[in-house]
Amino acid sequence: MSQGHTRRRALTLLGATGAGLITASFSGTSDDHGGDDYDDDHEDDHDGVDGLAQVRAAHLSPDAPNVDVSVEGEPVLEDVPFRAVSEYLELPVGTANVAIAATEDPDTVVFDEDLELAEGAFTIAALGELSGETQPFAPAVLEDDLSDPGEDARVRLVHASPDAPAVDVTADGGETVLFEDIAFGDAGAIEVPAGEYVLEVRPATECNDGDVVAEFDVSPAAGTVYTAFAVGYLDPENAPADEPFDLKVVADAEADEDAADTEADGDEDGADNHDGYDEDD
């Protein structure tokens, strides 16, 4: 945990639908293009829908193989690699069986439980290690706040690095404390003005002045909600898997640019600005 371990990486903030997953909708139809049809039909569903829960999966276990996720016995996510975060899928409110199994060995089921789902948005995060060397494997259900942060950005930090101690996250050379004493499995959220930041990850101390072990450049946008997953190992050479420490930042919900255009153009000009998100969103 010395200054010599400091790394700095510019992060690409992913779109709200995530990346790199093969998905299928719950209607029973499959799509070989990563769930594009699902996105087209549900692109405005992130504000909550009566009687529905929005659920996504995050593979944050560094020594676990690629996994498949099924709900009520139906496959919904396939061949999910470490660090991947899925798009939000919809489930009826109530009890649902969720199972997670190794892609190459379906008989190896690492999670199979009935979950009580309420209205809102949730992330099922696979945490810890299958080996249990540092932290036991234990999927966690996180409640996601997708409400509009207005002119600010909301950033949530989820500590999922098995060999990392509790951390403080600062900016401006330690002058600004963003997160304090976030331990493995914990999460914290903060709203910040849009702009460019260098996040400094430090072991937690009473004065938030521990040695910086990693730095990450981020540029949160106004009206956008993010989750930053701290993943991998601080010491990968002596860990069960060679997965170095990193910060996986995902945009959970993005600002409604169409609404902003409508306000700027006025009602008459804004009538044609409701065609949905841009192709990149």
Per the model's pLDDT, the better-predicted residue between 26 and 139 turns out to be 139
Q: pLDDT-derived band of residue 35, with 50, 70 and 90 as boundaries?
A: very low
| Six token digits for residue 14 | 């992913």
Q: Distance from first CA to last CA of the chain, Å, rounded? A: 38
Domains of the chain: 1-16+148-281 (2.60.40.1120), 20-144 (2.60.40)
Share of the chain above pLDDT 90, in %: 62
Q: What is the pLDDT of residue 258?
A: 52
Token pair 């975060």 is found at 85
* Mean pLDDT of all residues in 259-269: 41
Does the structure show a pLDDT above 90 at 80?
yes
Return d(Cα 98, Cα 68) in angstroms, integer. Answer: 11
188: left (phi over 0), alpha (psi -120 to 50) or beta: beta
Name the pLDDT band for 201 (thresholds 50, 70, 90): very high
What average pLDDT score do residues 64-83 get?
93
- Res 149: pLDDT: 97
More confident residue, 25 or 66: 66
pLDDT greater than 50 at residue 207: yes
